[in-house]
Amino acid sequence: MTDYFHLNIERDKLLSLSSLGLAHLGDSVYEVMVRSWLCLHGAAKVKDLHRATVSYVAAPAQAKRTERILPILTQEEQDVFRRGRNTAPHSVPKAASRGEYQTATGLEALFGWLYLQGRTNRLNELFALMMEEPTE
């Protein structure tokens, strides 16, 4: 039986996956992390949780927070991010620019790629940096 919570996909198989497939999975990984973060930070009412989740997972918010982690990505992570970002989108949501949407897709591809390798410590490290309050 496959343990879908503790994956460690072979490198060759991982490299053969499409960027959009990685982004599809990474989108849900990122959303689960945001939902967990919100619950742990005291948001309790369902309507408040949903509204807050949407504000964090929308492409413009993802793109803005992605800027915080780009300087610390490894070369391999940068390559996965770039591959996801450069995938031509079929459509772009009205609330996001094309650049924001492509950056969010790159982030999601990276999160999907890390998840499939079982690299949860790295996911947590990147996510924590993204969620930190900026220091002025």
Per-residue model confidence as pLDDT tens digits over 50-81: 888 988 999 999 999 999 999 999 999 999 99
Q: Which of 12, 27, 48, 79 is catalytic?
A: 27
pLDDT recorded at residue 96: 82
| Sites in the chain below the pLDDT cut of 70 | 43-44, 134-136
DSSP 8-state assignment for residue 80: H
Give the count of beta carbons closer than 10 Å to the beta carbon of residue 75: 6
Cα–Cα distance between 39 and 1 in angstroms, integer?
31
pLDDT recorded at residue 134: 67
Q: Which residue has the tokens 């039986």?
A: 1
Q: Which residue has the tokens 């969010």?
A: 104
pLDDT recorded at residue 11: 78
Contact 54, 72 (CB under 8 A): no
pLDDT recorded at residue 48: 82
Alpha helices for the chain (secondary structure H): 11-16, 19-40, 46-57, 59-66, 75-85, 98-116, 120-131
Contact 108, 26 (CB under 8 A): yes
Indicate if 27 belongs to the active site: yes
pLDDT recorded at residue 135: 58
The dihedrals phi and psi of 81, each to the nearest 5 degrees, come to -60, -50
Query: Based on C-alpha coordinates, what's the Rg of the chain?
Result: 15
